[in-house]
């Protein structure tokens, strides 16, 4: 998976340095990257019925699940990673969460911002480590 991420990262470089991207832009790409990891993980299991796959994916990608994952990750994050988590948490999206509290939604955005930051800065090994920890924790 790391090699695939590296290939994609080289094909489509961000128009700005990742540090200059708005936290919601990092969360946007982070959401997609995390979703691909989760889907790949679910395909590695046995039940491939579409309804089952979607139901299982929600256990990982819901705002509540991501907020919970971030809470567990926080002590192990580096200072730069924590800074991007703060930026993501404090970003005003203007969206009203449907199935989560405002706090859970903000922490979910922070988690996605972290994933986006790691992806855009090409820290693929660290990205993979963090996502695997989250997935294994949920399993």
Active site residue 31: yes
Hunting for tokens 């997609």 — which residue is that? 32
Q: Name the catalytic one among 18, 21, 30, 31.
A: 31
In Å, how far from its chain's centre is CA 14?
17
CA 63 to CA 103: how far, in whole Å? 10
d(CA 88, CA 108): 9
Q: Tokens 């994933």: give the residue.
A: 115
- Cβ atoms of residues 41 and 139 within 8 Å: no
Please, what is the Cα angle at 77 between 3 and 137, to 5 degrees? 70
Dihedral sign (CA 51, 56, 57, 62)? positive
Q: Give me the active site residues, please.
A: 31
């Amino acid at each position: 998976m790391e090699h695939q991420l590296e290939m994609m990262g080289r094909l489509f470089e961000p128009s700005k340095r990742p540090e200059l991207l708005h936290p919601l832009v990092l969360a946007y790409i982070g959401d997609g990257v995390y979703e691909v990891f989760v889907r790949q993980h679910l395909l590695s299991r046995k039940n491939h019925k579409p309804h089952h796959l979607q139901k299982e994916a929600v256990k990982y990608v819901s705002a509540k699940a991501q907020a919970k994952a971030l809470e567990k990750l926080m002590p192990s994050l580096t200072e730069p990673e924590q800074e991007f988590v703060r930026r993501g948490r404090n970003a005003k999206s203007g969206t009203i969460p449907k199935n989560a509290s405002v706090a859970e939604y903000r922490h979910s955005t922070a988690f996605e911002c972290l994933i986006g930051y790691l992806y855009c800065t090409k820290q693929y090994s660290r990205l993979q480590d963090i996502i695997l920890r989250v997935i294994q924790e949920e399993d």
